Amino acid sequence: MVVLSRVLLLALVFLVASATLVHAKGKKPAPEEEGDQGDEGDELVPHDQWKTAAFFSGSIHYPRSTVEMWPDLLKKAKQGGLNVIETYVFWNLHEPVKGKFNFEGNADVVKFIRLVQEHKMYVTLRVGPFIQAEWNHGGLPYWLREEPDIIFRSDNPSYKHHMEAFVTKIIAMMKHEKLFAHREIENEYTHVQLAYKELGNSYVQWAANMALSQNAGVPWIMCKQKDAPDPVINTCNGRHCGDTFTGPNKPHKPTLWTENWTAQYRVFGDPPSQRSAEDIAFSVARFFSKDGTLTNYYMYHGGTNFGRTSAVFTTTRYYDEAPLDEYGLQREPKWGHLKDLHRALNLCKKPLFAGTPGVQRLGKETEARFYERPGTDMCVAFLANNHSTIETTVNWRGQEYFLPPHSISILPDCKTVNPFQPSCKPSQRQETTGTYHLLKDATDYGWFTSSLELGPYDLPMKESICPVLRIPSLGHAMSVFVNGEYVGTEHGSHAEKGFVFERPVTFKQGVNHISLLCMTVGLPDSGAYMEHRYAGPRSITVLGLNTGTIDLSQNGWGHRVGLNGENLQVFTKMGAQKVQWTKAAGKGRALTWYKTNFEAPEGKEPVAIRMAGMGKGMVWVNGQSIGRYWMSFLSPLGQPTQSEYHIPRAFITPGQNFLVVLEEQEADPKDIEILTVNRDTICAISTEMHPPHVKSWERKGGELKTVGPVSEPVLSSSVQTSKRLLLWTLQALALLRACVEPTNLANATLRQPGRLLKSIAWDGLHVQSLWTPSFSSKLILAQISTSRHLLSK
């Protein structure tokens, strides 16, 4: 056991970051003045000596602010009730070129630590040297990649050599400056340890032994490492370590929370990240009620990723919802609420660390955790209501106490109350299933539905912040509805089937219904292990709530195969009679059925339908599907890959023909056209220099001879004036030079007998009308009713 009488020292030894609580040698923090919430003369030391004070720590990274900002940041942290400051050591900042070190300006880590000491606080120094921290390359200098045969963060001789050299240099600097600190080495290695197999296990042991060999005189910590070797202390990272942390792996080790996330860092494309002050306060109170010793707010001041220091896609502003914002200003109510929490907990410090613990169940969702010393009035109690929505009243030692939902009330003397409240949680859990497995190739469409109940404290408090629904999917397309309102559509491509749906959504207080219409666009037709291909959503999360990000992936999802309109076969004349149609007007809502009638075009020319103004869906003529259309998926040239779709003459009957369109997106069908295709026009170039036609020659007896008189080159063409020509159809002339244009349907000669009118029908939500009359046909205008009618008729 190491007991320091002069300095506070904690050391974190885990394979990612190294931390240290620092003070100048021969000094320790001076007694706290009135209102400082600190502990007079207390030190942070290992084992049983830890339980002398509550340590409230905040992460402030020295290179993410300027030297000029440091004093004010530390002053406000001290005023907010902190007595510990945590920071990483940034290897690629200090050694950007191999063997050349930089400790100037805001890289002056020694100066920063001395300023912390001047403000009568300790330091947790996370040496790393791999730190992650959303910092470029995780803090590792780029030159390290160029070292021969190196493998980062494994039992690799080259990596261990350079890692030990840097750690030794930093520890030597601290010793030379007579600074001591709580230290961490490595960072959250457990996330990658299995990937390195035995080299990962041996690396953990080596890192711990290497750190201990520095003889720093302080304990070391490994965050999120359950099997941290003695005497290294395993710690917790997360939002609710009071509930998720299994505790130290040995009884003589303290319970430490090295990262209590005050929100979440953001990458470009992310919505705002939030975590309410109440939720943070609740989690801290719960942690200390369960024998907690230290909590560190990550971040207390996020600051700025200057220059090119941010990690891949990470925003320049770091942790913008921290208690001190990017500019060093106090973010209320977070800063003030946590300050009040620290004061309340400091009122409890004597019974909290000297009393005997106990737990008493007060009800199904309520409990009391208390610490008291028998025979004295030393007592503190934490009354918890764990129900997320229902308030209650409990009786504790003969006195009634009102407990708000999901709250902890702190009784510093087992009588007086200080409440702290956070909020919601999702409901029962059942994960979604794969789209291929669900649909079994019977339809393109499958519904995934669930609900989310939100309380008044869950929704964003700021009008400028809106929750965002994020759904990574393995394909192929998906439309999203919230409370019956269309949110948007996203899709993949042939080259990359997967995509990420990410849209702002409007939630209401109470129950919110989320419906995902997941779509396939055919099954795979090549490649190995086709039977193991997967499509559909991979995860479903809600970002930007006051409570933080909520994972709904296993939130009791219901599944349904196909659409109502498919099941009722509204694309047939008989099926269309089962629902109520209304006249369309303008752009229809997403997922709408349209119907109309058109007269058979005259002649025998092929017929096509041009889906101008539409998005994505399917078309039926007289009950027969002509296939999928997709106009909203544009090529790199900004045009749909296919605009005209063939209607076989065999599908068309004399007189009236019944046309139905299922549109998945918001669209207006007024510009849809029926056309006939003409490819009988010839376009060619002929001059006196061109040779005769190939038919002027034949081979007989092995010799090439002319057939008849050889005529001069002649070009003639005949064009019907009634046709609207989009492209001249070319005939290639063998042995002649010719200008041959492409003959794809999109550029073919088409005739336009008439223009269809709109007729909308909402599948599952609402439905509308049809089309305006074209040429001589009289169209029936109608529109499908709501989903209730679809289900009841």
End-to-end CA distance of the chain: 79
Q: Cα(43)–Cα(7) distance, rounded to whole angstroms?
A: 7
In angstroms, the Cα distances linking 730 to 685, 714, 733 are 10, 15, 9
Q: Active site residue: 86, 95, 184, 259, which one?
A: 259
Q: Cα(248)–Cα(87) distance, rounded to whole angstroms?
A: 23
Q: Active site residue: 188, 278, 372, 663, which one?
A: 188
Helix axes 157-176, 198-212, angle to 10 degrees: 20
- Which run of H or of E encompasses 198? helix 198-212
Per residue, the 3-state secondary structure of 247-309, as one string, reads: CCCCCCCCEEEEEEECCCCCECCCCCCCCCHHHHHHHHHHHHHCCEEEEEEEEEECCECCCCC
Q: Cα(305)–Cα(742) distance, rounded to whole angstroms?
A: 53
Q: Are 613 and 672 in contact (CB under 8 A)?
A: yes
Q: Look at residue 12 and give its three-state secondary structure.
A: strand
Q: Cα(541)–Cα(562) distance, rounded to whole angstroms?
A: 24
Q: Cα(45)–Cα(181) distance, rounded to whole angstroms?
A: 10
In angstroms, the Cα distances linking 434 to 34, 196, 427 are 61, 31, 21
> Is 490 a known active-site residue?
no
Handedness of CA 603, 605, 609, 612 (dihedral sign): negative
CB atoms under 10 Å from CB of 76, counted, come to 21
Characterize the bridge pairing of strands 55-60 and 84-88: parallel
Handedness of CA 389, 366, 254, 343 (dihedral sign): positive
CB atoms under 10 Å from CB of 238, counted, come to 16
Helix, strand and coil content of the chain, in percent to the nearest 5, comes to 20, 30, 50
Question: Which amino acid is located at 248 in the chain?
Answer: P
Q: Cα(262)–Cα(322) distance, rounded to whole angstroms?
A: 6
Residue 582: closest CA among 594, 590, 568: 594
Contact residues for 556 (Cβ-Cβ < 8 A; gap 6+):
427, 428, 429, 430, 450, 451
Q: Cα(241)–Cα(723) distance, rounded to whole angstroms?
A: 76
> Is 146 a known active-site residue?
no
DSSP state, 46? S
Tokens standing for 627? 């296939």
DSSP state, 357? E
The catalytic residues are 188, 259
